[in-house]
Chain A
Amino acid sequence: DIQMTQSPSTLSASVGDRVTITCRASQSISTWLAWYQQKPGKAPKLLIFGASTLQNGVPSRFSGSGSGSEFTLTISSLQPDDFATYYCHQYNSYSQAFGQGTKVEIK
C-alpha cells in the first residue's frame, strides 16, 4: 500500500504569510494527488487535483506542485478564512490514502 506523509503536522502562521505544506508518497504516484481543506465540523473541500489544477472557485492564492513522490501545497498570502486543516490524497492505486493532515493555526 502507498503511504502518504504530510509535514508539518501543525503550522503556526500570521495573516499575509506564505505557507507551504509538503506531502510525500512512499512510492511514485505520478500526479494522482489532490488537496483538501477541512474546517471544524465541516466536510472536506476539494482545493487542487492532478497535483496542480485548481478546483473551480478556489482562490488563486492556493497552488500545488510536484510529481512522482513529493508534492507541495502553497498558500501565497494566508487569509483569515484559510485557518483550517489540510489533507493530501493519493488516488493512484486501489488502496487510495490520505495524509495525516496539517493544521494551520493562527500565530
Chain B
Amino acid sequence: EVQLVESGGDLVQPRRALTLSCAASGFTFDNYAMHWVRQVPGKGLEWVSGISWDSRSIGYADSVKGRFTISRDNARDSLYLQMNSLQPEDTALYFCTRSTEWLFYFDNWGRGTLVTVSS
C-alpha cells in the first residue's frame, strides 16, 4: 500500500524557518517525481513545489520562490521542504504527493501537516 506521511508542521513566528518531511513507503520512491501542495483551511489547493526523481528538475510557485527549498533523499525514501522567512500567508496544511512524471497528475497524497505562522 502506498503511504505518504508528512511531519514537521508546527506553530512558528513570522520570519522564522521550518522544515517539513515526507516519508514514503509501499512503492519505489525513486521512480516518482514528488511535490508539495498546500491548502489554507477552508480554501483551495495550491501547488507549492516539485522535484523530479533524480532532483534534476525542480520548480516552485512564485509565492514561495527564493524562500522555500525542496529536496529528496532517495536512499531514505524521503522528501523535504525547507521553508525560510515564513509569513502568515504561508499558514496552511501541506500535503506531500507524487506523480509518475515531472509534469503530471498526482495519484497519491499524504494526509498533510499543518503549518501555522503567527506571532
Q: What is the interface of chain A, defined by CB distance below 8 A to chain B?
A: 1, 32, 34, 36, 38, 42-46, 49-50, 55, 87, 89, 91-101
Contact = CB atoms under 8 A, between A and B. Distances in A.
Contacts of B50: 96
Given A95-B61, A96-B47, A101-B44, A46 B103 contact: no
A34 B61 CA distance: 19
| Secondary structure class of chain A's binding surface, majority of residues | loop
A43 B105 contact: no
B111 A43 contact: yes
B59 interface: yes
For the side of the interface on B, what is the size category?
A: 20 to 34
Contacts of A89: 45, 105-106
B44 A43 contact: no
A91 to B, nearest CB: 5
Contacts of B112: 43
A98 B46 contact: yes
Contacts of A87: 44-45
5 contacts: A43-B95, A44-B109, A46-B108, A49-B105, A101-B45
